[in-house]
Amino acid sequence: MVFVRDRLLDEIRKVIMENIPPEAEMRRVEFEGPYLVIYVRNPGFLKSETSAIKNIAKILRKRIIVKVDPQARKKPQEARSKILELVPSEAGVSEKDIEFDEVLGEVVIKAAKPGLVIGAEGENLKRILVETGWRPRVVRKPPIKSGLLEGIINYMMNESDYRLKFLRRASEKIHVDPLFKSDTVRITALGGFMEVGRSAILLETPNSKILLDFGLNPGINTPPNMYPRIDMLNIAPEEIDAVVVTHAHVDHCGLVPFLFKYGYDGPVYTTEATRDLMALMQLDILDVARREGNPIPFTQREVQKMVLHTIPLKYGDTTDIAPDVKITLYNAGHILGSAMVHIYAGNPAGGGINILYSGDIKFQRTRLLERASVEEIPRVDILILESTYGATDLPPRNEAEEKLIEIIKKTIERKGKVLIPTLSVGRAQEIMLVLRSAMMEKKLDEIPVYIEGMIDEVTAIHTAYPELLSRETFALFKSGENPFSYTTFKRVEDRRARSDIVDAPESSVIMATSGMLTGGPAVEYFKLLAGDPRNTMVFVNYQVKGTLGRRIKDGEKEIQLQEEDGRIVTVKVNMEIQSVEGFSGHSDRKQLVRFVESLPTIPKKIILNHGEPSAIASLAKELGKSKDIRVRTADIIMPNVLDTLTFKP
Ligand SMILES: [Zn+2]
């Protein structure tokens, strides 16, 4: 293997030497993860020579980064002054917002308005690199402070030695000539097939093994049905080459740290926002597990390791993740940072297989996010499609919003309180935007909206990536308004405040996690509010089979619950139970069919997953009704967990 890699590097060096202007004074070429890093002494060549790097990237089909040789970088103090000079003062960058990472040759610049640091088409970034020799990495200072985000940035800075070593090691498995020339691809369903929960897929080529998602089943507390069935394969975690995570819901990412605990040492590819959100979700799983005494097979250490091993990708950037596998992420419209994964497997020169794994998708725009972007997706031969609402026609969003507002108004009239158990990621922020607008437009009284649980930290992370939000929400941020800080929104920081909120004479809305009542403050509020028929509980998200939320939604009126001291109490459900479906972050069956029809090429095979069997069967039928799909798609496949499918181009 080493031999092959050295030869590859020699060839690469030759191409670079032929194309890079001599005044760049190239020193060396290194692979750092999926990137090819060219170290130069004089980055000034970038000023005049704009096409050289693009040409090299095109010939080599590699992602290229230019860094400056350590001796040629300006001293940090000098570089700091230069950066402050180059960055407009409105960007909100002060001296302490500029930090240098000697190992990676990067300067991290924290800015209130990152766009101004970046400049039109990255012009300012280039100037910073050229004039200081440090490669700038710009992060947003979110208007809502996030302890987690700061923690991640500091941790990565402190561990940059480890990170560089890891990136070099990871690159050794990516940038080699494929050993076997074959284009066969095997897809094994590990979890989330004919069910919702524990999503995981193993994708194998003759040269590589890739995991797509690795989640847990939130409705089940006992193995083996809680975990993806990797235990049944003859594969040790260290044999996996890469993990790709579509989004930060625990049923897709909850057990990624478990892989690290049992020997996985490779990269995790996902968006930057998903990295932050998933770390938060995993830490929360640990927290809840500790409080409830459920064993969880990983610790905080593995969550930290996962963060260091994450290689964040932007939507639309094609990246080599194995000798014969390239991936590109596309916005999935489901939650902040969510992605569909396009996978090209096979001969790098062409003729391989194109797979699209949808993850969870929303093919309709919401207040929070733009819809899944199909426009730029290249050819798709095999589509792995979620089917959560494959049997459901969701009401239009405006109807859903009106229904929610109507429910709240009725509850206010009878002096009750409204409990909305919410998923902390996505749905909570969407409902906040709905309530804010209804109150601003006077459709709803300005009553307090109490927010408890992880929602606050998650919202803060949303404010760090406003460019990923819907155009209208991003526009609010650009105009200096933070819609998540509306005047009636009140965060509950101390659990002792709960009884005051419940006993207060005035009506209020309480938003609390978890969204399926599997734990968290939502369950505590439920206990306090359930007995009073004036109150209402409104579900605004999918309730997975087996969760308390699902049982109540299905009509159970007496619930046995455990108190913190271990006592079992019976809770009588006298409160009104409502469910508003239209807010889903998933596509309904019409949207799913339209999504397939809107792909640039209709896939030859469609594999349905992430749905209960009835939803999957119904979606298969619905897809068959579409003429486009009927003509072009040879198979609609509905695998079970542990089924393996083999494909050739
Ligand atoms: Zn999801």
Q: Note the pLDDT tens digit of each residue in 353-382.
A: 999 999 999 999 999 999 999 999 999 999
| Residue 281 alpha carbon to ligand 1 centre in Å | 12
CA of 360 to the centre of ligand 1 (A): 5
So what's the pLDDT on residue 487?
95
Distance 460 CA to ligand 1 centre (A): 19
Task: Catalogue all structural domains in the chain, each as residue range(s) with its CATH number.
Answer: 2-70 (3.30.300.230), 80-141 (3.30.300.20), 168-392+586-647 (3.60.15.10), 397-579 (3.40.50.10890)
pLDDT of residue 1: 38
pLDDT score at 444:
96
Distance 338 CA to ligand 1 centre (A): 8
* Cα-to-centroid distance, 415 and ligand 1 (Å): 35
Instruction: For residue 389, give the DSSP letter.
Output: B
Q: Rounded to the nearest whole angstrom, what is the distance from the C-alpha of residue 568 to the centroid of ligand 1?
A: 32
Distance CA 320, CA 326 (A): 4
Question: Mean pLDDT, 10 residues at a time, over the chain (649 residues)?
Answer: 62 90 92 93 85 89 92 95 94 94 94 90 91 95 88 93 95 84 90 94 95 88 80 88 96 96 96 96 88 84 97 95 95 97 89 95 96 94 96 92 97 97 91 97 96 91 95 93 94 92 96 90 95 97 89 95 87 96 92 96 95 96 91 90 92
Closest CA to 275 of 103, 118, 149: 149
Interatomic CA distance for residues 203 and 205, integer angstroms: 7
Query: Ligand 1 centre from 549 Cα, in Å?
Result: 17
Tell me whether strands 310-312 and 268-270 are parallel, antiparallel or unpaired: parallel
In the reported structure, the alpha carbon of residue 524 is separated from the centroid of ligand 1 by a whole-number distance in angstroms of 24
Distance 397 CA to ligand 1 centre (A): 19
Specify the pLDDT at position 4.
56
Q: How far is the CA of 428 from the centre of ligand 1 (A)?
A: 13
Give the CA angle between residues 75, 78, 82 to the nearest 5°. Answer: 130
Q: What is the pTM assigned to this prediction? A: 0.91
Straight-line distance from the first to the last Cα atom of the chain, in angstroms, rounded to the nearest whole number: 27
Q: Identify the pLDDT of residue 121.
A: 83
d(CA 483, ligand 1 centre) in Å: 23
How close is the Cα of 223 to the center of ligand 1, in Å?
Answer: 21
Q: What is the per-residue pLDDT for 6?
A: 66
Ligand 1 centroid–CA 106 distance in Å is: 34
pLDDT at position 5, please? 63
Cα 359 to middle of ligand 1, angstroms: 7
Of 194, 49, 43, 48, the C-alpha closest to 105 is 43
Q: Which of 133, 123, 130 is nearest to 101 (CA)?
A: 133
pLDDT for res 3: 46
C-alpha 15/C-alpha 647 separation (Å) is 35
Distance 486 CA to ligand 1 centre (A): 26
Q: What is the pLDDT of residue 2?
A: 43
> Do residues 585 and 360 lie in contact, with contact meaning Cβ atoms separated by under 8 Å?
yes
Distance 450 CA to ligand 1 centre (A): 24
Q: What's the rounded Cα separation, in Å, for the pair 430 and 484?
A: 10
> What's the CA-to-centroid distance between 120 and ligand 1, angstroms?
34
- Phi-psi bin for 424: left (phi > 0), alpha (psi -120 to 50), beta? alpha
Judge whether 381 and 448 are in contact, CB under 8 Å. Answer: no
Cα(488) to centroid(ligand 1), Å:
28
Distance 52 CA to ligand 1 centre (A): 41
Burial class (CB in 10 A: 0-12, 13-18, 19+), 128: buried
